[in-house]
Amino acid sequence: GESVGLHLPTLSVQEGDNSIINCAYSNSASDYFIWYKQESGKGPQFIIDIRSNMDKRQGQRVTVLLNKTVKHLSLQIAATQPGDSAVYFCAENSGGSNYKLTFGKGTLLTVNP
């Protein structure tokens, strides 16, 4: 079936650098996308979301970019800190459903001091 996938399973950056985590989705009917951060043994934590009528959305130190033409989503983290180390998942609303999310495979971000 259609699913959301990530290009890179791991990403290692130096503290203070900018991080970019990428995600490809295949369900063109999905119109809502979310990035979650998950630390070991904890629940996914909402970071930022974007709807399909937008190309870019900014939060505190984070920016999400959506390219509907190539079905690509990215999360940019500015000035990455050790506390940002976690697994990052993108998720889509499963073809427009209001009642389920399809998650990608996750990218492990490691921030080196």
Window contacting another protein (CB under 8 A); options: 14-22, 64-72, 73-81, 93-101: 93-101
- 35 touches another protein (CB under 8 A): no
50: number of Cβ within 10 Å:
19
Residue number with CB closer to another protein (40 or 69): 40
Q: What CA–CA distances, in Å, run from 18 to 2, 30, 98?
A: 30, 28, 32
- 103 touches another protein (CB under 8 A): yes
- 43 touches another protein (CB under 8 A): yes
> Could you tell me if 58 and 52 are in contact, meaning their C-beta atoms sit under 8 angstroms apart?
no
Number of residues binding to another protein, judged by CB under 8 A = 23
Distance CA 95, CA 17 (A): 34
Binding footprint of another protein on the chain (CB under 8 A): 32, 34, 36, 41-46, 49, 89, 93-94, 97-106
